[in-house]
Amino acid sequence: MTQKHLSKYLDKLPSAFYVTSSYTNYYSKRTTRALFKKPIHSGMDMYLIFAALFGLVLGSFYSVCVSRYGTDNTIFKPARSFCPQCDHQLTILENIPLISFLIQKGRCSLCKARIPIFYPLIELTSMFWAVLAATHATTYVEWVVLLAIGGICIVASAIDLRTFLLPDILTYSGAAIVLVASYAGILHVDFMQSLLGAGIGAFALWAVSALYKLIRKINGMGLGDVKFMLMLGALTGIGHLSIFIFLASVLALIFCIISTRGKAGMSRVYIPFGPFLASGALITYLYGDQIASFIR
Ligand SMILES: [Zn+2]
């Protein structure tokens, strides 16, 4: 693709530069943002390529975090990744995010054991999020904060899928990051909106799970989801909370229908809700204004 083609394509992206006027007005109030303004056209392609590569590297780190959660290993020890089957320590060439997986056709170079597709998918998701966040963020600072938020969402969701647990360290630190960033005016959600979104979102989810427990006498939802909601409700704000919960529920329902292939007994399937909450909230943060104006 030539540079001309790419910039033509970028013009069509529903990026933050073209969205609703309320959004633009909100930003124009914050003149300090000009200090960190992103290049809008010139240099945008290089920025997106950098975002993709950086997202891949971060994704590689995330998959290490996920694979080592709940084991005797820590994130930094052992320093180099290894094959869980034969303990073969990966060389630098075997450790390139995504590329190594493709070259080795998804197998360990020594014992030929299959590498779960789950891990390159984490890297791919991280790359996708880094690029998407780059096209939407109006400042570099917002992009960096969105990378941190997306990273916590990806790692928490992957751990939830693997273990049905959402670690407190991720959910609580995520909530702190979002609230501090919205207070500092880095995110395009007002601080009071954020605070109410966190409180009411978490309370609503807790009330639903308490009611479910009362009626069905079993735990329907973990407390981890309620804690995760503190972070995600703060990200979308109270104004877009209903859009967020609707999206998360629809995504979870689609997953349920596909995974049970529409068979009976769906009420007894236990699914990790974290990944759907996270994707619902991230989509709402990026497209909430457009979805809201579409509904009206
Ligand atoms: Zn091996």
Q: Are 180 and 231 in contact (CB under 8 A)?
A: no
pLDDT in tens, 12-40: 444 433 333 344 444 444 444 444 566 55
Q: How many angstroms separate the alpha carbon of residue 66 from the centre of ligand 1?
A: 19
Q: How many angstroms separate the alpha carbon of residue 121 from the centre of ligand 1?
A: 20
Q: Is the dihedral of CA 12, 51, 239, 192 positive or negative?
A: negative
Q: How many angstroms separate the alpha carbon of residue 106 from the centre of ligand 1?
A: 11
Q: How many angstroms separate the alpha carbon of residue 128 from the centre of ligand 1?
A: 28
Q: How many angstroms separate the alpha carbon of residue 77 from the centre of ligand 1?
A: 19
Res. 6 pLDDT band, cuts 50 70 90 = very low
Q: How many angstroms separate the alpha carbon of residue 126 from the centre of ligand 1?
A: 25
The pLDDT of residue 123 is above 60: yes
Q: How many angstroms separate the alpha carbon of residue 212 from the centre of ligand 1?
A: 45
Res. 161 pLDDT band, cuts 50 70 90 = very high
pLDDT for res 13: 45
Average pLDDT across the chain, whole number:
85
Q: Burial, 48: exposed, middle or buried (Cβ in 10 Å; 0-12, 13-18, 19+)? A: middle
| Mean pLDDT in residue range 51-55 | 96
Q: How many angstroms separate the alpha carbon of residue 17 from the centre of ligand 1?
A: 48
Q: How many angstroms separate the alpha carbon of residue 89 from the centre of ligand 1?
A: 9
Work out the end-to-end distance of the chain between its first and last CA atoms, rounded to an integer number of angstroms. Answer: 38
pLDDT for res 278: 98
By mean pLDDT, which of 115-124, 145-154, 180-189, 266-275 is the weakest? Answer: 266-275
By mean pLDDT, which of 47-56, 76-85, 124-133 is the weakest? Answer: 76-85
Q: How many angstroms separate the alpha carbon of residue 91 from the centre of ligand 1?
A: 12
Q: Which tokens go with 161?
A: 């899928």
pLDDT for res 121: 95
Percent of the chain exceeding pLDDT 70 equals: 83
pLDDT for res 268: 63
Q: How many angstroms separate the alpha carbon of residue 86 from the centre of ligand 1?
A: 4
pLDDT for res 221: 76
| Mean pLDDT in residue range 261-270 | 63
Most confident stretch, 42-56, 228-242, 264-278: 228-242
Q: How many angstroms separate the alpha carbon of residue 268 from the centre of ligand 1?
A: 37
Q: Which tokens go with 121?
A: 């998918």
pLDDT for res 250: 95
Q: How many angstroms separate the alpha carbon of residue 85 from the centre of ligand 1?
A: 5
The pLDDT of residue 286 is above 90: yes
pLDDT for res 266: 54
The pLDDT of residue 5 is above 60: no
By mean pLDDT, which of 105-114, 154-163, 195-204 is the weakest? Answer: 105-114
pLDDT for res 54: 96
Phi, psi of 114 (to 5 degrees): -70, 135
Res. 9 pLDDT band, cuts 50 70 90 = very low
Q: Which tokens go with 266?
A: 């769906």
What are the residue ranges spanned by the domains of the chain?
Answer: 39-136, 143-296
Neighbouring CB atoms inside 10 A of 9's CB total 11
Q: How many angstroms separate the alpha carbon of residue 105 from the centre of ligand 1?
A: 13
Q: How many angstroms separate the alpha carbon of residue 87 from the centre of ligand 1?
A: 6
